[in-house]
Amino acid sequence: MEHFTDRLIRYIRSKRSSAVVGLDPHWKDIPAKIKSSALSEHGRTLKAGAAAVTQFITGIIDAVAAHVPAVKPQVAFYEQFGVPGLEAYRKICEHAKARGLIVIGDVKRGDIGATAEAYAAAHLGLTDIDGQTLEAFPADAVTVNAFLGIDGVRPFIDAAAKYGKGIFVLVKTSNPSSAELQDLESGGEPVYVKLARLVAKWGEPLVGEGGYSAVGAVVGATYPEAAQKVRSVMPRSFILVPGYGAQGAGAAELKPFYNADGLGAIVNSSRRIIFACKSPKYKDRFGEDGWQRAAEQAVIDMNGELRSFGLQ
């Protein structure tokens, strides 16, 4: 069983990319022909929403698979369609893995005791049905909320260790109000630095051959100064970096997230990629019907931006 970060590093090097495509399908922005087809077949139902999402996102995956190591479906955009949406989420994960991509389930789970164990089984491990173990959602890693401390994180760490998976703990998030809690001073340093120290500690037993732990962190691209502090206390942790593109951060701000070896960070872009056909830059070239080609070109351009700053 290959270690999660060893697998991630291998994919990064083979694709020459540390970009991650966020699979966050907003219903209103899905191409009209896809929505029309789903509505014709299923009516104005949750099943129609899930069907449109499945068709659109599998098409996006096909368009970007050759250019990125990983995708990150945000489960909320699937849960809003109820049970059909959860089935769509599972299909998306399966399709991405079949196309040779690492799947990071953006589920942001965190609880204590048996509840955390159940979340970990659902999203990282296996569920036991009278001696038969089954996989509910086939993700390679998940995002985890550590607000409850190690009680809420331990089951995910244990599942990651057992099944060769990874976790990314929320440390410094990209939203503006993150400062209300994450920037509070505790013992002379911000809470997010304290949490980064815990991430490093929790991940020490799970370091792979490539020198990186299966326990990583989420740090927003909009806070490069925070990234510098976080990177200094957790050199062996991968950082999942949201906030690139639509939230305003560019490649120039990303250098502090990486280590000197050019590794240690993966950069997520969601709307800028999957809805590239809505942008004048790509709409005039490809049109709305060319949404797959627009997404592929947007990823190629993102890789070019990262490489122009010496980032793989």
The span from the CA of 276 to the CA of 129, in Å, is 43
Q: Which of 262, 265, 188, 269 is nearest to 234 (CA)?
A: 265
Locus of tokens 């990983």: 70
In Å, what is the CA distance from 77 to each residue of 57, 88, 174?
11, 10, 19
CB distance 162 to 125 below 8 Å: yes
In Å, what is the CA distance from 220 to each residue of 45, 106, 172, 189, 308?
35, 14, 6, 18, 21
Longest Cα separation, the chain: 60
* Residues present in the chain in total: 312
Of these residues, 15, 72, 91, 108, which one is catalytic?
108
Q: Provide the token pair at 97.
A: 């893995």
Q: Is 108 noted as a catalytic residue in this protein?
A: yes
The span from the CA of 240 to the CA of 226, in Å, is 14
Active site residues: 108
